Structure 1
Amino acid sequence: MAQLTVSGRDTVHVWVGRDAGGQPDPAAVLVRRAGALLLGRVATEVVLTHDRDGRPIVRVDDATGSVELAVSVSRTAGLVVVAARRAGTVGVDVERVRPLPALALARRWFPPAERAWLGDRPEASRTADFLRLWTAKEAVGKALGRGLRDGGLRRLMPPPGLPMRPVPGVEPLRVGHPRLDEGLVLAVAAPAPVDVEVVQWAGHGATAERSASVERTSLPVVVRGN
């Protein structure tokens, strides 16, 4: 099965949608629509499946063969996020910022360098900073096809933020945090070089709405650059 390749700069597309539960599964709907958009097909032609490492992919079959698209899915309360990439693996994770014992959790799960970094962060931002590290680990694990197995929580992450930064020990994989609304933390992981474009899906039955600037709306935003 051939994997779709693209000329020029690679882009990770990230769609943010509502997740009210029920059937059909909002994540499956979003994955199908994302696959249809990037593969130039209708959603009913898109097949949801997994690769040999368990990573989700979408596939379109026709008389000339099969074309596959790497995807990654994450959920948090009331929200579903789907990342898709035409040329290789991708991982995504999203969390809502909420009260939690950030330093205690870091002492339990994170390597010493990250514990020290988090301890030096301002108290007001410490929970969000903890979640930036956590989501980075999740996104990287998904891109690697291993999740958090085999010590994924102790895998050292680069300092959170943008641009996307190399992940120690697993270059050329990079991870970064495109900005969403306050109260949400998003991490995206993919081999470099890569652009990241975040768009909001305007309801599960509507066309995607793309935002070109933060001034138009704070969720979504479009972030470009590696």
Structure 2
Amino acid sequence: MDDSSIACFDPRSDASPLGDDEVHVWLSTVADATPRALAAAARAVLERLLCDYANCSNVPPRIERGPHGKPFAPELPQLEFNLSHAGRHVLLAFAHGQALGIDLEAEQRRLALGEIAQRFFAPAEARALARLPLPLQRSAFLQLWTRKEAVLKALGVGISFGLDRVEFVLDETGTAGALRAIAPEAGSVAEWTLHRLDPAPGMLGALAWRGPARRVRTFALRA
């Protein structure tokens, strides 16, 4: 499991070739942070990048959603992708032949951290969070949350799968680390690769897939 922090997003205006041993992660920042505008911007960026990767015309490929909402392009069966948005930012991930999950959260998002952890996290995670000083709890919670969401999105399942069935180590400094345990139907711990993403100030993200390590390349989309 690779759990490196990725903070440098090279600015680009189009997609570079996507190698079979790579995952490309894109960051886009929008001016209007209203939920409707952000969702529309995320869709537009996804269509633009899909066209770049698929070398299609000005008509973007059709996007559909699986039973739990995961998007896919039926006309591009070998191009896997996932996206997430929060605040004024959109994160997107692309790979050939490898299902992906990506999640993004704002550090200032208002959450009942202790209550959510007690109800939905693994008991060891909830206890580790409760032991942390208050200033560390929010970041630690979001590190766990984004990792869990990324794994569930890579699997193509919803939160009903069980956040407690994807368990991570949380150390005494509030840093989330290795995957400790996962539900048997999701494979073994050793099969999963995770990366922490630090795409912008005040934002936390995670990228996950069930498969061998790949090179992760990061780009910031220019208008």
Fold conserved between structures, TM > 0.5: yes
Does the aligned pair in 2 maintain the 1:13–1:84 contact within 8 Å? yes
Change (3 A) 1:50 1:120: same
Which has the higher mean CA deviation after the structures are superposed, 135-144 or 193-202? 193-202
**Residue type of the alignment partner of 1:96:** A
1:77 equivalenced with 2:97 (yes/no): no
Percent of aligned pairs with the same amino acid: 22
Q: 2:165 aligns with which of 152, 155, 178?
A: 155
Q: Secondary structure at the match of 2:169?
A: coil
Q: Secondary structure at the match of 2:166?
A: coil
| CA RMSD between the two structures | 3.1
Q: 1:182 aligns with which of 174, 178, 201?
A: 201
Does the aligned pair in 1 maintain the 2:147–2:206 contact within 8 Å? yes
User: Counterparts of 2:175 and 2:79 in 1: how far apart (Å)?
Assistant: 25
**Residue type of the alignment partner of 2:205:** L
Q: 2:214 aligns with which of 191, 194, 204?
A: 194
Indicate the residue corresponding to 2:53 in structure 1.
38
Deviation at 1:25, TM superposition (A): 1.6
User: Counterparts of 2:176 and 2:107 in 1: how far apart (Å)?
Assistant: 21
Q: 1:110 aligns with which of 116, 121, 132?
A: 121
**Residue type of the alignment partner of 2:198:** R
Change (3 A) 1:26 1:19: farther
User: Counterparts of 2:193 and 2:99 in 1: how far apart (Å)?
Assistant: 11
User: Counterparts of 2:196 and 2:102 in 1: how far apart (Å)?
Assistant: 10
Deviation at 1:91, TM superposition (A): 0.7
Q: Secondary structure at the match of 2:160?
A: coil
Does the aligned pair in 2 maintain the 1:19–1:26 contact within 8 Å? no
Indicate the residue corresponding to 1:219 in structure 2.
none
User: Counterparts of 1:183 and 1:31 in 2: how far apart (Å)?
Assistant: 23
CA deviations over 1:10-29 (Å, ceiling 9, x no partner): 32423333273449921111
CA deviations over 1:182-206 (Å, ceiling 9, x no partner): 311101111231232332222xxx3
Indicate the residue corresponding to 1:26 in structure 2.
41
In the alignment, structure 1 segments of 5+ residues that lack a partner are: 1-5, 61-65, 207-226
In the alignment, structure 2 segments of 5+ residues that lack a partner are: 1-17
User: Counterparts of 1:23 and 1:115 in 2: how far apart (Å)?
Assistant: 32
User: Counterparts of 2:199 and 2:150 in 1: how far apart (Å)?
Assistant: 16
Deviation at 1:146, TM superposition (A): 0.7
Q: Secondary structure at the match of 1:88?
A: coil
Change (3 A) 1:165 1:196: farther
TM-score normalized by the length of structure 2: 0.71
Indicate the residue corresponding to 1:168 in structure 2.
181
Change (3 A) 1:43 1:112: farther
Give matches, 1:60-75, under 5 Å: 60=75, 67-75=77-85
User: Counterparts of 2:55 and 2:91 in 1: how far apart (Å)?
Assistant: 21
Change (3 A) 1:121 1:85: farther
TM-score normalized by the length of structure 1: 0.71
Name the structure where helix makes up a greater proportion of residues: 2
Does the aligned pair in 2 maintain the 1:10–1:87 contact within 8 Å? no
